[in-house]
Structure 1
Amino acid sequence: MKNLRVTLIGFLCLSSGTVSLAQEPVGSLNELLRDINGSLRLSVKEFNGTDLLSEQPFNKELLQTKTGNWSMQFKASPVSKHPGVMDVSTSFRLNSGVAKSSAVSVSFDFSKWNPENYVLVPASVYNGNRYRAIGNSYSPQYPKDMYYNPSVPLTISNNPRLSIESNKASLVELTTGNVATPALCFFSKKEQKGFVVLTEQMTRLGSSGLTITENAAKDSCSFSISAPAVRKMATGFGDFHISGDKAPDWNSGDEITLNFKVYVFNAANIPDLLKKFMQVRKALSGLNHPRNIIPMSKLFEVATNICKGNFVDVPAGSFYRPENNKNFQLGWVSGMMNTYPMLTLNDKKERDRVIAELDFVVNKLQGKSGYFYGGITAGGEIIPEKMSPDFKPIQAMVRKNADALLWLIKHMQLLKAQGYGKSVKPEWENATEKLAAAFVNTWNKDGEFGQYIVPETGEIAVYNSTAGAIVPAGLAMASDYFHNKEWMKVARDAAKFYYQRDVEKQGLTGGHCGDISQDADSESAFGFLESLMALYYYTGQKEWLNRAEVQAALGATWTFSYDPVFPPNSEIGKLKSNMAGAIWASIQNKHAAPGICTASGDYIFKLFRATGNPLYADLIRDIQHAHAEAVNMPGHLTTNNLIGSSMERIQLSDAEGKGSIGNFINTRNSWTETNGVLMALEIPGIYVNMNHKKLYVFDHVKAQVLSIDKSGITIQLKNETEYDASVSVLAETEKQARKPLSYTAFLRWPKVKVKTGGTIMIKVNPANGITML
């Protein structure tokens, strides 16, 4: 302990049960936290089961309890050239004695707290989850007051949350297994400051605890990180259950170290916090290590083979099954989305099947108002959605209708780009026009799109949420396709509305999934990014690009920023899968999944291309590689189902029980297979910036620049996977990159073949294309 006073930045001083750093030079953690009325508390907690018996804070480097003698070593050092950032390490050691059922904790205590502060825990808590909550189960039924009520408050499922009631204290208990990035964050509008603390997933004691405690007066709040997590209740899918957590017994010599990065920074608004988070979310965990295991071309092959085998002719009509039964579900989980890559096969049989499905959709599912019903049984009976028994008209998801508008136009664009424009039927165009007009009528009448609508009448049945996140994209595309300027104006106005109400003011988007309430979710976050990039594509206005950068940052909060450690005997653990890039579903459905539901995320690539910011390239590369880790292939079994199949569970949390952590489910989900095929289709395997002579690799190959001369760039490609690869290459100048990328640009990307274990060299020149060497 002789060197402790050299490394310690201030002793810890006890005052009224709170410990704060002593006055030290500017740049110490004490000074940093003072800007946000913060102080530090380091303590040892003793439990009886999950009941807290005592908390004993350190006020110096030593702590004497009734049964043992502890020491604490605290180090905090500024990060060079980055003011407002500190690397922090805190080591706790039991020098002598014993400590039964104990945990150690580092708490950031904030006085002068304001309940209007925006609180973020990535993939788990948005705006403190400080909203009305209903039910005590998965996808609870809506109460009567949520129907036909324009004033309905945003309503979530029974999730961990800060209270909306006055004079009621709050306790949010999570583990690092509940989050996409182990972090606790907030933004203070009053102080114009943001705070982010990053920590590690686990210590040798297991996953760490993340706890937020707010007093009844709501004027003080604590963010605590403990080793290990000891929660009274664990959160499930819209409910809670006894956690089963257990604090360990400590013996003499036992030691634990908690590492952090702490950021305090100027922030004018919630978007500033989101953008800061995206910049730093990997700062503590470091670079990811995506594995090259299945080329995108092979993934495309095996997944489209599954889709080929899933075409059915039933009394309702003819279509590719979107799920494992013969009922049809429009949009959301891949109905009339899995058809799109089938068109690109340029195979007459599959093209005819796609045409049959489009006929089926427009003839069987469109209501009188122009809106579509959300699903139909194999026998031809319309499937109602989220209906109360008190309200009889059949409802449908707004999100599914937004998907229908966007994908109808994408199909017609693709057929025309392929030279099959004569296959586009007037009935499809008429149905698409009616749907676009229905959205415009709703906007003009209600000033929003709602969450559920009545296809027969066009009425909004349930208001609020960001369920219409993709509508602006669909309307922008429809405006261009049908040459209707009014629709573009509505697209712009609606996008501004969602951005201001949901992103700027609440720091969340939600209500996009059919199995949640109006909970914050990743699908609306990425879906709204689709809309913002569509508006940039059609208008060329940078304001949409600026908003898209904020929205991408919000999407990043839902995405694993690091490779989490799974139990070694779990299915994911045995495969040693690196899951950075898996995307959490919603604050209700506490699991990650392989990819975006349901899209390629090509808009993230387009954002990278337009800005040159490699963080966006990293994001979409991570998403693609995490998806590949979940694909069932020989020697890499995940679903134990069809070759090329995948499913929606990448489970790090114990929401479904501790035994579920790291285990896949023996099933398949069409939507995860569809988004994988779309990624293989709409994202280039390699992107080359000719001006900077840089390349970025998205596919599962290795590539490096060998030489540069007047004739172009010579690149070496190496395929270390077990499968032959056909790699698409997009090479362009910065001038070319300034023009937004069209929706069918992938049809023009050249491909190069690299056999398994093979190495090839190519010369890239935008003027002359790709030359094999």
Structure 2
Amino acid sequence: MLKQLNGNMHFSISQFGGVRLIAKQQFEKGKLQAGTNTWQLQLQDKPVMGHPEARDITASIVLTRGKASSTAIGVSFDFGNWSRDNYVMVPASIYNGNRYASVGNGYNPAYTKDMYYNAQVPLTISNNPRLSIEKGKASAIELQTGNAATPAMCFFSPAKKKGVIILTDQQSKFGNHGMTISENKTQDSCVFAISAPAVRQQAPGFGDFHPSGDHAPDWKQGDQLALKFRVYVFTANSIPDLLTKFMEVRKTFTGSNHPRNQLPMSKLLELATTICSNNFVRVPAGSYYLPENNKDFQLGWVSGMMNSYPMLALNNEKERQRVAAELDFVVNKLQGKSGYFYGGITADGKLLAEKMSPDFPEPQAMVRKNADALLWLMKHLLLFKAQGYGSVVKPEWETAAKRLAAAFANTWKAHGEFGQYIAAETGEIAVFNSTAGAIAPAGLAIASDYFKQPEWLQVAKESAGFYYNRDVVKQGLTGGDCGDISMDANSESAFGFMESLMALYNFTGDKSWLEKAKVQAALCSTWTLSYDPVFPSESQIGKLQCNMAGAVWASIQNKHAAPGICCASGDYLFKLFRATGDAKYADLIRDIQHAHAEAVNIPPGHITTNNLVGSSMERIQPSDAEGKGSVGNFINTRNSWTETDGMLMALELPGIYVQTDKKKVTVFDHVEAKLISQKGRQILIEVKNPTSFDANVAVFAEKAIQAQKPLGYTAFVQWPKFAIKSGQSCRLLIDADGTISAK
């Protein structure tokens, strides 16, 4: 298999002095003599059923005689005739080899003067592990499996039209495995290696590096270890081919994960909306739900004018008036002359500028926050009307939305992109490049339909096509839409772009957008933990025995996972599942929802944040980027945005989805459901609630033919719900038209 790529595989032992490599020796015909030490290798090579392009390999290594100090074992895949044009990916850590210009040496580095008002600015990342952007320079990436959403190393060769995916497990008795990628000086050969355990000189942090503290174990006679991995070598014509293959196989080696049913969506919604309701403030700047742990307001990104949406969905007069007050505040205080919004304001009314340069003092705002503002302002307007309160919608809100949509359209016409930072007063792009405008096409598509402005839909299509081709197809990444990173690859832009692609399918009915969405969902899957990592037994997550498959990694700079997609339900993944019938999209969003619930603070038995009941925070940490003591430990605080994730998932995802004519039952809520019988136009399902909480479960039932029609943004308002007590079971009779009744 490897010969197709001028590759070969060999096994070795490596002796270290601390983290410095002293000697490395390879096995020859299953044997290795190192001084007085004798090592034996037994190799098992098996085909993978149903996958002729894959092999399962187990390398059992034993020290048959002698003692070996500070020694690791490993397997190397050496690829000759290598090209720096090959796309290299390690899920959640490395995209396109991270072969980009780098700036700063730490968290959220400042931009240099030449990066402002420069349409030719290159994609620039923080100081992360990367292959060299310079020609004629050797480079190496040192990771451990805790740095990856899936323990995998992948690449695509455009010249050979081949893809390679190497999957392994997380750890051995010695700890997490190491994963290294080393390119020679002439950049015509590259080595991918797995070691047991990881022995890195430097561990990557949040935009910097620190001593790893790794160490290799001592071996005595008779000690042995089995190194297991799977290798795929397959035909691939593009980066999207590699990504879609990865999503298909990402769980095949580590096996199915085990989401725990413990917190019904309705209980999660109850707890999180209580927190949000209690965090409504009236300050000199205006009235709003707090998006942070202070009284300043940030628009978009970290919940500003997002957490108000589930409060509006509660459909009670008190919260409706509060939401209206927040919309008044946003459109009256934050919109600049250009139509773009400022990104934030202090409680006493001082506008906040972002990513400023002393050389260019004009106040700037994040393009991402403005894209959020357009999407969520439109969703608020739609929800008011779906609830029968269209008369509450003020002309000022609609005018603000139109001005913002027009600003995006004007920027697109002028520059053919949206940029990363924008000057709110002039509308000029202050920092170009990145996928910061990933969500903008979604907002433009909704606004086009709402205001009957076909020009905006055209801009949405053109801009989404641009991002898809430039970033996804050619680079295999999206990035740069967070306020605390550079243009680094990140998950939020990946999921945000999914929102846009499904919006375009929704408003055009053109299935080519579905095909793009499938590729984008695959990219999203690279950011999502595909298995349940083993955390240190003494850590908080270890003690709670949390199953964290579904936690979403932040960015290649911020090397941690989090509960949920930042400020989104991920309902677009459900919509993709509904439109295609492909269960892997349902599986992905179910994992994300259940991992979120694992992070919610529910005393006395499930304490995570040591904060409010129902609160959550942004750290699920499998890596040692913040030090080895941080692995598996929560941070004792709360984040509004993770709580917003939970509220949105509880609203915009059905608890149970049924296709009545195909007798398919898919469960997202923390209940169990199965088909009992079918009679005529009715089916009978049994539902069990294994949790400690009473639940109110939303059911969305339809025929398969109805699933071919795109799902609207407020469909959840019409989903019927049924109550089920903790520990009890019930039966539901579902008619072909979706009507449910208890039996």
Normalising by structure 2, we get a TM-score of 0.99
Match of 1:666 in 2: 636
Q: Name the counterpart of 2:143.
A: 174
Cα distance between partner residues in 2 of 1:767 and 1:201: 47
**Corresponding residue of 1:741:** 711
Deviations 1:692-734 (A, max 9, x none): 2110110000111111111411111111111000010111111
Alignment partner of 1:751 is 2:721: yes
Query: d(CA) in 2 for partners of 1:691 and 1:197?
Result: 40
Q: Aligned to 1:765, which of 710, 735, 738?
A: 735
Residue 120 (str. 1) matches residue 89 (str. 2): yes
Please give the secondary structure, in 1, of the residue aligned with 2:13. Answer: strand
SS of residue in 1 equivalent to 2:512 = helix
* Counterpart residue number, 1:441: 410
Structure 2 SS opposite 1:741: coil
Q: How does 1:631-670 map to 2 (within 5 A)?
A: 631-634=600-603, 635-670=605-640
Q: Which residue of 1 aligns with 2:540?
A: 571
Greater shift, 510-519 or 711-720, is seen at 711-720
The answer to whether 1:378 aligns with 2:347 is yes
CA contact (8 A) 2:701 2:738 kept: no
> How far apart, in 1, do the equivalents of 2:481 and 2:378 lie?
21
**What does the per-residue CA deviation read over 1:269-310, in whole Å, with 9 as the maximum and x for residues that have no partner?**
000000000000000011110000100000000000000000
What CA deviation, in whole Å up to 9, does each residue of 1:16-46 have, x standing for no partner? xxxxxxxxxxxxxxxx111111100100000
Out of 108, 112, 120, the residue aligned to residue 151 of structure 1 is 120
Distance in structure 1 (CA, Å) of the matches to 2:625 and 2:49: 40
8 Å CA contact 2:681–2:736 kept in 1: the answer is no
- The match for 1:209 among 144, 166, 178 is 178
d(CA) in 1 for partners of 2:705, 2:624: 49
Report matched runs for 1:6-25 at 5 Å.
Answer: none
Partner of 2:553: 584
1:113-164 CA distance string (max 9 Å, x none): 0000000000000000000001101000000010000000000000000001
Query: Which of 679, 685, 691 is the matching residue for 1:721?
Result: 691
CA distance in 2, matches of 1:244, 1:533: 45
Q: 1:296 and 1:255 mapped to 2: Cα distance?
A: 46
- CA offsets, 1:189-235, max 9 Å, x none? 00000000100000000000000000010000000000000000000
Inter-partner Cα distance in structure 2 for 1:688 and 1:658: 45
Q: Which residue of 2 aligns with 1:346?
A: 315
Q: Secondary structure at the match of 1:83?
A: strand
Alpha-carbon distance, 1:757 to partner: 0.8
Maintained 8 Å contact 2:702/2:737 = no
Q: What is the CA distance between 1:250 and its match in structure 2?
A: 0.6
Residue 103 in structure 1 maps to residue 88 in structure 2:
no
Runs of 4+ in 1 over 2 A off after TM superposition: none
Residue equivalent to 1:459: 428
Deviation of 1:258 after TM superposition, in Å, equals: 1.2
d(CA) in 1 for partners of 2:134, 2:464: 32
Structure 1 counterpart of 2:58: 89
Q: Is the 8 A contact 2:661 2:736 kept in 1?
A: no
The equivalent position to 1:333 in structure 2, one of 294, 302, 307, is: 302
Tell me the SS of whatever aligns to 2:41: strand
Task: Give 1:241-260 correspondences, 5 Å limit.
Answer: 241-260=210-229
SS in 1 for 2:76: strand
Matched with 2:501 is 532
CA distance in 2, matches of 1:158, 1:479: 40
Query: Match of 1:142?
Result: 111
d(CA) in 2 for partners of 1:81 and 1:328?
A: 53
Cα deviation for residue 598 of structure 1 reads 1.1
- Kindly indicate whether the alpha-carbon contact (under 8 Å) linking 2:287 and 2:329 is maintained by their aligned counterparts in 1: yes
1:709 maps to 679
- CA displacement, residues 651-693 of structure 1 (integer Å, 9 cap, x when unaligned): 0100000000000000000000001100000000001122221
Q: Distance in 1 between matches of 2:225 and 2:665?
A: 42
Give the equivalent residue in structure 2 for 1:360: 329
Report matched runs for 1:601-616 at 5 Å.
601-616=570-585
Give the whole-Å Cα distance in 1 for the aligned partners of 2:661 and 2:742: 21
The partner residue of 1:236 within 202, 205, 222 is 205
The 2-side partners of 1:127 and 1:486 are apart by: 34
**CA drift at 1:768:** 5.9
Residue of structure 2 in register with 1:404 after alignment: 373
1:74 aligns with 2:54: no
Gaps of 5+ in 2: none
Taking the aligned partners of 2:337 and 2:494, their CA distance within structure 1 comes to 30
Letter in 1 for 2:711: L
What is the aligned counterpart of 2:700 among 727, 730, 742? 730
1-structure distance, mates of 2:645, 2:52: 41
Residue aligning to 1:314? 283
CA deviations over 1:353-398 (Å, ceiling 9, x no partner):
0000000000000000000000000010011101111111100000
Task: List runs of 5+ in structure 1 lacking aligned partners.
Answer: 1-31
Q: CA deviation at 1:766?
A: 3.0
By how many angstroms is 1:112 displaced?
0.3
CA distance in structure 2 between the aligned counterparts of 1:600 and 1:731, rounded to whole angstroms: 20
Q: Please name the residue that 1:422 is paired with.
A: 391
Is structure 2 residue 231 aligned with structure 1 residue 289?
no
* Number of equivalent positions: 742
Matched residues in 1 for 2:357 and 2:738: separation? Answer: 62
Paired AA for residue 393 in structure 2: V
Identity, % of aligned pairs? Answer: 66
CA distance in 2 between partners of 1:662 and 1:193 (Å)? 37
Which residue in 2 is equivalent to 1:691?
661
Structure 1 distance, partners of 2:272, 2:294, is: 18
For 1:94 and 1:189, locate their aligned partners in 2 and report how far apart those are by CA, in whole Å. 41
Contact 1:67 1:99 in 2 (8 A): no
- 1: CA distance between counterparts of 2:656 and 2:578? 12
Q: Distance in 1 between matches of 2:17 and 2:104?
A: 30
Question: C-alpha displacement at 1:622, in angstroms?
Answer: 0.1
Q: What secondary structure does 1:456 align onto?
A: coil
Q: What's the TM-score, normalizing by structure 1?
A: 0.96
Q: 1:596 aligns with which of 565, 586, 601?
A: 565
Question: What residue identity is the alignment partner of 2:209?
Answer: F
In the alignment, the residues of structure 1 paired with residue 333 and residue 681 of structure 2 have an alpha-carbon distance, to the nearest angstrom, of: 56
Deviation at 1:80, TM superposition (A): 2.9
Amino acid at match of 1:84: E
Matched, 1:516 2:485: yes
Change (3 A) 1:506 1:768: closer
Distance 2:183 2:315 in 1: 59
1:81 shift after superposition: 3.4
Task: Report the equivalent of 2:130.
Answer: 161
Q: Given residue 356 of structure 1, which amino acid in structure 2 is its aligned partner?
A: A
Partner of 1:5: none
Residues in 2 aligned to 1:702 and 1:350: alpha-carbon distance in whole angstroms? 33
Cα displacement (A) at 1:62: 1.2
1:591–1:650 Cα contact (<8 Å) kept: yes
- Following superposition, the deviation at residue 67 of structure 1 comes to 3.6
Secondary structure of residue in 2 paired with 1:407:
helix
2:60, 2:39 → 1: CA distance? 10
